[in-house]
Structure 1
Amino acid sequence: MSFNADPVELLGSSPLFADLAGAELVQLAALAHRRSVKPRETICRKGAPGGQMFAVLRGRLKVTTVSSEGREAILALLSTGDLFGEVSLLDGAPRSANVIAVTSGELLVLERADMLAFLEGQPPVSQKLMLALCRRLRSTDALIEDLLFRPLTSRLARRLLELGREHGQAHPRGVRITLRLSQEELGQLSGSSRESVNRQLAQWDNAGVVTNEGGHLLLLDLNTLQELANKS
């Protein structure tokens, strides 16, 4: 979707609101306001009050956490159509991670009080919010398991396959990841250093598994990546 993306269309495309009728989507969109963001702007800060939910109209953001030593890890990448902050709608607890804009963009913002009032008449949406929370917990558990027990080749293969599913498009030679990712970002996604990611990508390039085409990663051999992702 473009900068002038229709909020009703965007909300309706989300699995969270898929059961809502057109009039209900219009009602929900009317509760929201737009917010422009700049590169490196922090939208959510870990530990801060969680009083809003967001939908990405345009741009790219990263969900991060930082260790006590100052090392940043990327938990997720967000782009047009993605929602974040929905878990705070359930418990009102402080944010569990940082969300930072990677590029300029625009967000759709829903205040917690408005959403709670809306949800009172929408039990199916409330149930889907609970499912979203469960998926988030499972994803966090899987990430911790990866960092503790899997080698870099497995972790990086898993992250690339996830990026291919979430941000990939069909290509004559495989799957092209539409996001432009630096090796530093790939390192933060896979819990490794930029240098280690660089060496691994070079090996995979020579082996015909992954290559870089015009600044975008191209997944050439999905079967090999899946085999590597399954190794522990």
Structure 2
Amino acid sequence: MGKPGQNISADDLVMMSPLFSVLADEARSAVVKRAKPLSLEAGDPLYARGDPSDRYFGILKGRLRLSVDSADGKTVALNQADTGEWFGELGLFEGGTRLVDATAVEPTDLLCLSRTDVLGFAMSEPAMFMPIVELLGARIQLVGELLQETVFHDVTFRLAKRLLVLADKHGLPADQGVLIELHLPQEELGQMVGATREAVGRQLSIWKKKGWIDVSYGKITILNRAPLMQIIVSAQGGADDVSDF
């Protein structure tokens, strides 16, 4: 996966796709040739819930938020897609519609493949069968985990887990810990964990006073990972897992 601000090549991005990495060089080159470039500015929508699920996207540079709006109008960020990642495959194989909104968090360059192209490659390349099954299964499991965490765990758990996931994906060694190399306003963090900006701010202040984190100008540094991990382990009954959600 790329770092924020890094731009990767189309060839490397196709190689990173769980669907296309199993293909021979010639077949991957064909995928690159069929892919279309697309650029978004921060705040631009890529697609909305209910739109046709007719394209598969990879990120050359940038970041997108995958979210839904709750009944009371609040935006809940279910996940984010970062440089080097692919998304949008749910619905491709049964012709459905988008279940979430996708919005650029920062200037973002993408590659997109049409549903017709993806299905065409899948039909002609048997090696793609198992990656497709595994990817769809993983996505379904992810949705189940998100629902479980929202129902059974409080904002303290969700925020601790999200910070550790972000540190693992975007962390850089700092003088006193690990700097999350993303600008993270409290409102955006709140959307990520299904909480208000005020609730997130209160919890961050508590952890900052305890010396677990540092917060400065929208950047967060993890100073002491252990107590954040302990929050997660205790809530999960001892399961030591901070995989992405």
* Bucket of the pairwise TM-score, normalised by the shorter protein: over 0.9
Change (3 A) 1:128 1:93: same
Deviation of 1:135 (Å): 1.4
CA shift for structure 1 position 3:
7.5
Checking the alignment, whether the CA contact within 8 Å between 2:64 and 2:104 is kept in structure 1 is: yes
- Summarize the Cα distance change of 1:66–1:226 in structure 2 as closer, same or farther, 3 Å threshold: same
TM-score, normalised relative to structure 1: 0.92
Rounded to whole Å, the distance in 2 between the matches of 1:11 and 1:223 is: 36
Which amino acid is the alignment partner of residue 128 of structure 2?
A: V
Structure 2 counterpart of 1:56, from 54, 59, 69: 59
Give the structure 1 partner of residue 136 of structure 2.
Answer: 133
Mapped to 1, the partners of 2:178 and 2:138 lie a distance apart of 25
Structure 1, residues 141-184: CA drift from partner, whole Å, max 9, x if none?
11111111112211111111121222223334332212211101
1:68 corresponding residue in structure 2: 71
Contact 2:16 2:85 in 1 (8 A): no
Aligned match of 2:33: 30
The answer to whether residue 58 in structure 2 is matched with residue 42 in structure 1 is: no
Q: Which moved more, 1:53-62 or 1:135-144?
A: 135-144
1:143 is paired with a residue whose SS is helix
| Offset, 1:23 | 2.0
TM-score normalised by L of structure 2: 0.88
Structure 1 range deviating more: 166-175 or 51-60: 166-175
Q: Is the 8 A contact 1:87 1:129 kept in 2?
A: no
Offset at 1:76?
0.9
Q: Decide which of 144, 147, 151 is 1:148's aligned counterpart.
A: 151
Q: Which moved more, 1:191-200 or 1:171-180?
A: 171-180
Secondary structure of the corresponding residue to residue 84 of structure 2:
coil
Match of 2:239 in 1: none
> Matched residues in 2 for 1:90 and 1:169: separation?
38
- Who is 1:211 aligned against? 214
Equivalent residue letter for 1:224: P
Name the % identity.
32
Deviates more, 1:41-50 or 1:171-180: 171-180
**How far apart, CA to CA, are the structure 2 residues paired with 1:37 and 1:227?**
39
State the alpha-carbon separation in 1 of the partners of residues 56 and 188 from structure 2. Answer: 25
Could you give the per-residue CA deviations for residues 173-222 of structure 1, whole angstroms, max 9, x where no partner exists? 33221221110111111111111110110111111111125532111222
For residues 73-111 of structure 1, what are the alpha-carbon distances to aligned partners after superposition, in whole Å with 9 as ceiling and x for unaligned? 001112211111112222221011110111122110100
How big is the shift at 1:4?
6.1
The residue aligned with 2:161 is 158
CA RMSD of the aligned region, Å? 1.8
Deviates more, 1:122-131 or 1:177-186: 122-131
Paired with 1:198 and 1:68, the residues of 2 have a C-alpha distance of 23
The DSSP-based 3-state class of the residue aligned with 1:228 is helix
Q: Which runs of 4+ in 1 moved over 4 A?
A: 1-4
Distance 1:14 1:177 in 2: 24
- Whether 1:186 aligns to 2:183 is no
1:115 aligns with 2:115: no
Q: Give the whole-Å Cα distance in 2 for the aligned partners of 1:203 and 1:140.
A: 30
How many aligned residue pairs are there? 232
What SS does structure 2 have at the residue aligned with 1:91?
A: coil
Partner of 1:224: 227
Say which is worse superposed, 222-231 or 54-63, in terms of deviation: 222-231
Contact 2:50–2:98, Cα closer than 8 Å, also in 1: yes
Partner Cα separation in structure 2 for residue 207 and residue 28 of structure 1: 50
Distance in 2 (alpha carbons) for counterparts of 1:138 and 1:3: 30
1:90–1:175 Cα change, 3 Å:
farther
